[in-house]
Amino acid sequence: MSGILKAWLVGARPHTLSAAVVPVLVGTALAHGRPGFEWGVFALTLLASLLVQVGANFTDEFSDHGAGASAHKYLAPHKVIARGLLTERQVKLGALAAFGAATAIGAALVARAGWPLLWLCLASLAVAYFYSGGPAPLGNYALGEPLVFVTMGPVMVMGAVYAQVSAWRLDALFYSLPVAALVTAILVANNLRDGEEDRRNGRRTVVTLFGRRAMRTVYVALLAASYAVPGAAVLGGRASPWVLLPWLTLPLALRVTGWIFGAQDRDALHRALRGTSALHLTFGILLAAGLAAQGPA
């Protein structure tokens, strides 16, 4: 791989892309087998979701680099501008290209499914940019967790279903909750890792506002809620035991929870962050597989 291509790949932050994949997989599993389902629509929805996430990552890159305190921050491996791998202009153009391509695909999906899908697409694009971009990034005001919960849970899962069947479904809202909880847990782990740095640089996150102890408790609550959703569906007779497949990830959940509570330094918390991301991806794949196996309700 050439140096420039590798730089773009690093800047795209592949380790974050599972957050864009999981909600589309779960939404697609809920729509599979229903009238109007098309694999081509799944491919376009997945590609658009990935492009929005890449655009958000590039936006975070140039916004963070331009922040006044950036010189005092930890130089992460994916910081392509600070490391001289790409220029700020290149990264801005990359963000524009990613968002532009996602918008074009979104327009095609809206034309197929109907105008209601437009509002979900616009919400996703707005949050992706304004989370770290613009004059007052929303992520700097302790809004990251609620925005991520809503956008990368209900909005994306319900959007993936609507793109296929042109209808709102309550089961999509219900099964989006564990997706939302686990992707929010990733952000909580990230903010726990960066808590001291954020505090020094005046960035307000839930960790700097409420402290590590409180957010570790929130982390456990998010994980517990994720496993409770499929359990409640089966106990309530609304789903088959296939939906319990994500419970196979419980050993990993216990392991990363131990890391969250036992970590004393940045490296240990980074391991917990990566573990939470792996949990989100594995749980999501198994949930999608279980929903597909049980078939349309």
Residue 156 CB neighbours (<10 A): 28
* Both structure tokens of 124: 């996703």
Tell me the HSE value of 34 on the side-chain side, using a 13 A CA sphere.
19
pLDDT (0 to 100) of residue 228 = 97
Please tell me the distance from the alpha carbon of residue 48 to that of residue 51, in angstroms, as a whole number. 5
Decide: 52 and 102 in contact? Cβ < 8 Å.
Answer: yes
Each residue of 107-135: pLDDT tens digit?
999 999 999 999 999 999 999 888 888 77
Local confidence band at 10 (pLDDT 50, 70, 90 cut-offs): confident
Query: In the chain, which ranges are continuous DSSP H helix?
Result: 3-12, 18-31, 39-66, 88-113, 116-130, 144-150, 156-165, 170-193, 195-200, 206-210, 212-235, 250-262, 266-294
Q: Give the three-state DSSP class for 77.
A: coil
Please tell me the distance from the alpha carbon of residue 17 to that of residue 25, in angstroms, as a whole number. 13
Tell me the HSE value of 81 on the side-chain side, using a 13 A CA sphere.
20
Higher pLDDT, 252 or 81: 252
Sign of the C-alpha dihedral, residues 19, 95, 193, 144? negative
Please tell me the distance from the alpha carbon of residue 44 to that of residue 238, in angstroms, as a whole number. 30
Q: Is the pLDDT of residue 3 over 60?
A: yes
pLDDT (0 to 100) of residue 69 = 43
Decide: 111 and 121 in contact? Cβ < 8 Å.
Answer: no
Decide: 280 and 22 in contact? Cβ < 8 Å.
Answer: yes
Phi, psi of 204 (to 5 degrees): -90, 120
pLDDT (0 to 100) of residue 199 = 75
Mean pLDDT, residues 258-281 taken together: 88
Give the closest residue to 22 by CA, choosing from 291, 284, 290, 286: 284
Which domains, from first to last, does the chain contain? 3-294 (1.10.600)
What is the pTM assigned to this prediction?
0.92
Each residue of 210-269: pLDDT tens digit?
778 888 999 999 999 999 999 999 999 889 999 999 999 999 999 999 999 987 777 888
Mean pLDDT, residues 14-27 taken together: 93
Give the closest residue to 129 by CA, choosing from 96, 80, 88: 96
Local confidence band at 281 (pLDDT 50, 70, 90 cut-offs): very high
Tell me which residue has tokens 């105008």. 115
